[in-house]
């Protein structure tokens, strides 16, 4: 691609993955966030819960001062607590709803434009019941978000049988779900992730084309499936080119080409496309981020 990447997208970084010590809403949030806000490669950043209200205020000030766009990831509120938004136990479903609504409140507080979450685990013989519970929860989340402003709500598509084992899930079910929710709420869409596509046993084309009309957010990353003993196995988001992993420059090229062909990457809206990369073992997070930036630069040249 001869045109600048910025003409078509806002490159972002998921703060709580690149610096996983902050994923529970604590730790060196300000110091690590400042690194991203200072780096003008990134036009956007994705954050998650920040438990200390004063830290939240200081992060908000950095967001405003640095002119960086922000989205909010509610996924850690689910994944670090075991809360399931499609729990067939009503009390459990309500607890998951409550924490995600708190996340929506925080997202508005810091000026986020989008809010992400994921579906939960399910029993194969109760798939339809779990699906109906997910629909009920998502309707409530979308209505709650809309009552407070213009934040978009995005369900992220995860693997269904390897690591997170989330209901959504296979592209056929993702499409059915997106069609049903979007028919009622114009503030809803799907979040897709290059990291998850191999884990879904789908090609990039198979995973994206059927849901092309519902994609509102995208992630770029990697996964490893060949060696269950490797610390990066499953949905661990290792750096691009990690030994034995699935995604590198060429896979990112294919992903970006499809996103461009379906009109998701475009000059009018310039969507956020964020790196979801995480250090493995004692890897330096800053070097992992540098890896991602170089891979994207090389990939964009080939798009």
Q: Which domains are seen in the chain, by residue range?
A: 5-302 (3.20.20.150)
Which residues fall within 8 angstroms of residue 197, CB to CB, at 6 or more apart?
203, 204, 207, 255
Cis peptide leading into residue 181 (ω within 30°): no
pLDDT confidence tier of residue 93, bands split at 50, 70 and 90: very high
Instruction: Give the pLDDT band (50/70/90) at residue 1.
Output: confident
Residue 59's φ and ψ, nearest 5 degrees, are: -65, -40
CB 206 within 8 Å of CB 242: no
pLDDT bracket for residue 158 (50, 70, 90): very high
What distance, in Å, lies between the first and last C-alpha atoms of the chain?
A: 5
Calpha distance 164→234 (Å, rounded):
9
Alpha-carbon Rg for the chain, nearest whole angstrom, is 18
pLDDT at 102 over 90: yes
Q: Residue 248: is its pLDDT beyond 90?
A: yes
CB of 265 within 8 A of CB of 271?
A: yes
> What pLDDT digit, counting tens, does each position of 216-242 carry?
999 999 999 999 999 999 999 999 999
- Phi/psi of residue 115, each to 5°? -135, 125
pLDDT for the residue 262: 98
The span from the CA of 58 to the CA of 100, in Å, is 22
- Tell me the three-class secondary structure of 181-199, residue by residue: HHCCCCCEEEEEECCCCHH
Cis peptide before 115 (omega within 30 of 0): no
Q: How confident is the model at residue 2, as a pLDDT?
A: 87
Residue 220 and residue 276: Cα distance in Å, rounded? 6
pLDDT in tens, 121-140: 999 999 999 999 999 999 99
Strand partners, 10: 272
- Token pair 């049988």 is at which residue? 161
- What is the residue-wise DSSP string for 42-78? -SEEEE-----HHHHHHHHHHHHHHT-EEEEE-HHHH
For the chain, what percent of residues have pLDDT higher than 70? 100
Q: What is the mean pLDDT of residues 182-210?
A: 98
């Amino acid at each position: 691609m001869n045109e600048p990447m910025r003409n078509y997208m806002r490159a972002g970084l998921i703060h709580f993955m690149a610096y996983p010590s902050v994923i529970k809403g604590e730790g060196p949030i300000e110091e690590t966030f400042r690194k991203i806000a200072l780096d003008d490669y990134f036009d956007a950043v994705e954050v998650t819960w920040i438990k200390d209200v004063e830290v939240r205020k200081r992060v908000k000030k950095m967001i405003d001062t640095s002119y960086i766009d922000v989205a909010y990831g509610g996924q850690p509120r689910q994944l670090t607590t075991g809360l399931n938004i499609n729990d067939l136990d009503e009390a459990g479903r309500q607890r998951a709803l409550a924490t995600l609504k708190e996340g929506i409140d925080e997202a508005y507080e810091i000026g986020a434009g989008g809010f992400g979450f994921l579906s939960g685990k399910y029993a194969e013989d109760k798939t339809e019941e779990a699906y109906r519970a997910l629909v009920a929860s998502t309707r409530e989340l979308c209505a709650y978000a809309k009552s407070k402003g213009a934040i978009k709500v995005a369900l992220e598509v995860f693997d269904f049988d390897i690591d997170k084992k989330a209901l959504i899930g296979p592209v056929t079910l993702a499409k059915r779900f997106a069609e049903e929710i979007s028919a009622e709420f114009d503030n809803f869409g799907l979040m897709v992730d290059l990291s998850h596509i191999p884990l879904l046993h789908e090609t990039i084309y198979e995973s994206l084309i059927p849901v092309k009309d519902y994609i509102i957010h995208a992630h770029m990353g990697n996964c490893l499936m060949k060696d269950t003993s490797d610390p990066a196995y499953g949905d661990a988001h290792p750096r691009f080119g990690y030994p034995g992993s699935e995604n590198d420059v060429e896979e990112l090229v294919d992903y970006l080409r499809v996103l461009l062909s379906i009109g998701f990457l475009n000059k009018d809206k310039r969507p956020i496309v964020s790196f979801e990369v995480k250090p493995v073992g004692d890897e330096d997070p800053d070097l992992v981020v540098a890896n991602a930036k170089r891979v994207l630069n090389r990939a964009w040249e080939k798009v």
